[in-house]
Amino acid sequence: MVNRLDFGTVLKEGFGYGMKNIPSLLGAIVLWLVTIWIPYVNVGTTIAIRTLPLQLSRGEIFSPLSIFDKKYYRYMGEYFLTSGFRMVGICGAATFLFFPAIAVSFAWSLAILLLLDKGLNAAEAIRLSNKLTYGNKWTMFFVSFVLGLVYLIVCWIMTLILRPLIAAVDSMAEAIMLGFFIVNLFLALLVAFMAFSMGCQASIYGTLSQNIEEQH
């Protein structure tokens, strides 16, 4: 039996996966930002950040220090190849207007995760991702659309709430304190959104990766 994505299930599981990993995600992002300037190390940590949904899909609460795991360097070449092929494919599809590019983006969205999870090469990962997402791209699109819409609405509401506070500021000290508070508030909101988004990616991968045997 082939597993299909369910919109409500993806959102529910995504929220569960993401919320319980917010502290770990925040720690991983901080460590990534601190080490992003270090050559070679930054490649491994970037691959680790990109593939966090793989750990979330297993129901794990990951350690922020796991982004330094040596296993990520093993897939460095294939990661760049896969990312390059995906970018070329999306750009090529964009020449046929906007929607084909979106379709290709979703069709190949699991390739990086498959690369690390199944040890495939770039071509195999892209091909398998295309097969696994067939018939599920509309659900993936609506999940992404809802996530983006919710994020924009929450940001808009927060802006409306904060506007009277900003207007009431009448000293440099108050402005600095309020500015610090607003920056941290929106950073926290961004981290929560990233956690929710990665959780949804984890749910999608966890469901569709069960179909791998049927696809071979």
How far, in whole angstroms, is CA 132 from its chain's centroid?
Answer: 18
**How many residues belong to the chain?**
216
Tell me the C-alpha distance between 204 and 216, whole Å.
19
Give me the pLDDT at residue 96, please.
79
**Using one digit for the tens of pLDDT, what is the confidence trace for 135-179?**
999 999 999 999 999 999 999 998 898 888 877 777 787 788 888
DSSP characters over 130-143: HHHHTTTHHHHHHH
Residue 102 to residues 85, 91, 113, Cα–Cα distance (Å): 15, 10, 19
Q: What is the pLDDT of residues 73-86, one digit of tens each?
A: 888 889 999 999 98
Counting Cβ atoms within 10 Å, is residue 192 exposed (0-12), middle (13-18) or buried (19+)? middle
The reported pLDDT for the residue numbered 109 is 94
Task: With a cut of 50, list the residues of the chain below it in pLDDT.
Answer: none
pTM equals 0.90
